[in-house]
């Protein structure tokens, strides 16, 4: 349940659907497994099995989840099945096959093999913060996040969502933060940073488990830009913020993750409510602290 990675989007106009309407909209696009020849399938699923609903509300936070299933069909298997057919066709036609003919054989083979292929499923959990009009998606993949937004947009009809931070101003902040300047409130530097020269094939350097305030590290700011930087809170969160605004490797101090342990799990609904609210409010506070510094660059 605890989000470990984040892609965050800000809505440019309020989403004001009531919970019953939103529940119905998500249910209409619920997940169904891949059919025989279907290569992939995705749809909404219950974010928490115990809740048995497509949209779980906890105060002003709405949790939902998208499940995606893909058929696993290794290229080597397709090639092995294709080779005898290609050889037979070339012998029949007494010439080499064109790319179009080879592609046609490949499509036929793929179509025949799909019903026997294994399936791999993945569930991506997301949270809509009604108060901040933000969507938080628990993934490090931009394509997975866009899939979630696309399906949500399809279900509710409109979703004016943009990345939560301006990349230009974030890039400027990352440069300053590495120099321990104007860090977000309550944060300090961690022990990991990645930098890259601005040209397309520019040099890259990464420091891990390293004191970032040393001249060895800071000298790279002369010709490189920070692309990933670890930030930490004392007895709070630890995370890596990237120059595209994504947050990765989020870790929660024991004082946070264990805060509700005294509730136990005898009443699963009570524990779920306590943990989801704790996580969401913790992430919201962190996002606010970072956004406040980045947005100040626009002033």
Task: Render pLDDT for 236-265 as a digit per residue (tens, 0 to 9).
Answer: 999 999 999 999 999 999 999 999 999 998
Report d(CA 173, CA 183) in Å as an integer. 8
Which is it for strands 225-233 and 237-242: parallel, antiparallel or unpaired?
Answer: antiparallel
pLDDT at 74: 85
Helix (H, G, I), strand (E, B) or coil at 190: strand
pLDDT tens for each residue of 82-125: 999 999 998 988 899 999 999 998 988 888 888 888 889 999 99
What tokens does 279 get?
């996580």
Share above pLDDT 70 across residues of the chain, in percent, rounded to a whole number: 99
Mean pLDDT of the chain: 93
How many other CB atoms are there within 10 angstroms of residue 171's CB atom?
Answer: 18
DSSP percent split of the chain into helix, strand, coil, nearest 5: 40, 25, 35
pLDDT at 239: 97
Is 232 within 8 Å of 241 (Cβ atoms)?
no
With bands split at pLDDT 50, 70 and 90, how would you rate the model's confidence at 38?
Answer: confident
Task: Say how far residue 153 (Cα) sits from the centre of its chain.
Answer: 17
CA-CA-CA-CA torsion for 289, 145, 190, 2, nearest 10 degrees? 80
DSSP 42-63: EEEE-SSTTT-SSSEEETTEEE
Strand-pairing partners, residue 136, are 8, 127
pLDDT at 299: 56
C-alpha distances (whole Å) from 3 to each of 37, 59, 60, 98, 273 are: 34, 18, 18, 49, 15
Report d(CA 241, CA 221) in Å as an integer. 17
pLDDT at 22: 94
With bands split at pLDDT 50, 70 and 90, how would you rate the model's confidence at 227?
Answer: very high
pLDDT at 298: 66
What is the pLDDT averaged over residues 144-160?
95
pLDDT at 73: 84
Q: How is residue 200 annotated by DSSP? A: T
Which is it for strands 40-45 and 56-58: parallel, antiparallel or unpaired?
Answer: unpaired
- Half-sphere exposure of residue 20, counting CA atoms within 13 Å on the CB side? 0
pLDDT at residue 208 above 90?
Answer: yes
Number of residues that this document lists for the chain: 299
pLDDT tens for each residue of 164-195: 999 999 999 999 999 999 999 999 999 999 99
Share above pLDDT 90 across residues of the chain, in percent, rounded to a whole number: 75
What tokens does 7 get?
């892609």
pLDDT at residue 226 above 70?
Answer: yes
pLDDT at residue 279 above 70?
Answer: yes
Task: Say how far residue 73 (Cα) sits from the centre of its chain.
Answer: 24
Report d(CA 55, CA 132) in Å as an integer. 18
Is 192 within 8 Å of 186 (Cβ atoms)?
no
pLDDT at residue 54 above 70?
Answer: yes
C-alpha distances (whole Å) from 175 to each of 136, 171, 231 are: 25, 6, 13
Is 62 within 8 Å of 130 (Cβ atoms)?
yes
Is 293 within 8 Å of 182 (Cβ atoms)?
yes
What is the pLDDT averaged over residues 219-228?
95
pLDDT at residue 277 above 70?
Answer: yes
Is 157 within 8 Å of 5 (Cβ atoms)?
no
How many other CB atoms are there within 10 angstroms of residue 286's CB atom?
Answer: 21
The domains of the chain are located at 7-73+117-163, 78-110, 167-296
What tokens does 13 get?
């106009």
What is the pLDDT averaged over residues 36-46?
91
Count Cβ neighbours within 10 Å for each residue of 134-155 and write b for 16 or more, e otherwise: bbbbbbbeeebbebbbebbeeb
């Amino acid at each position: 349940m605890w989000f470990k990675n984040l892609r965050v989007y800000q809505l440019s106009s309020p989403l004001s659907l009531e919970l019953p309407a939103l529940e119905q909209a998500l249910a209409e696009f619920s997940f169904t497994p891949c059919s025989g020849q279907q290569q992939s399938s995705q749809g909404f699923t219950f974010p928490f099995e115990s809740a048995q609903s497509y949209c779980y509300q906890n105060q002003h936070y709405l949790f939902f989840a998208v499940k995606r299933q893909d058929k696993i069909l290794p290229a080597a298997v397709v090639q092995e099945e294709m080779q005898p057919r290609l050889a037979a066709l070339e012998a029949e036609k007494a010439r080499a096959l064109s790319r179009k003919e080879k592609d046609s054989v490949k499509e036929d083979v793929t179509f025949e093999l799909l019903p026997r292929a294994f399936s791999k499923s993945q569930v991506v959990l997301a949270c809509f913060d009604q108060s901040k009009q933000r969507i938080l998606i628990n993934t490090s993949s931009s394509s997975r996040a866009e899939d979630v937004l696309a399906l949500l947009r399809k279900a509710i009809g409109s979703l004016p969502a943009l990345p939560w931070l301006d990349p230009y101003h974030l890039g400027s902040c990352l440069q300053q933060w590495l120099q321990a300047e104007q860090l977000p409130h309550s944060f300090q530097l961690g022990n990991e940073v990645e930098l890259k020269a601005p040209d397309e094939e520019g040099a890259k350097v990464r420091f891990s488990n390293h004191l970032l305030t040393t001249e060895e590290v800071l000298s790279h700011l002369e010709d490189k830009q920070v692309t990933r930087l670890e930030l930490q809170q004392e007895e709070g969160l630890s995370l890596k913020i990237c120059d595209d605004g994504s947050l990765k490797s989020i870790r929660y101090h024991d004082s946070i993750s264990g805060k509700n342990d005294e509730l136990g799990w005898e009443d699963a609904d009570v524990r779920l409510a306590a943990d989801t609210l704790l996580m969401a409010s913790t992430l919201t506070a962190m996002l606010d602290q970072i956004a406040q510094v980045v947005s100040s660059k626009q002033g």
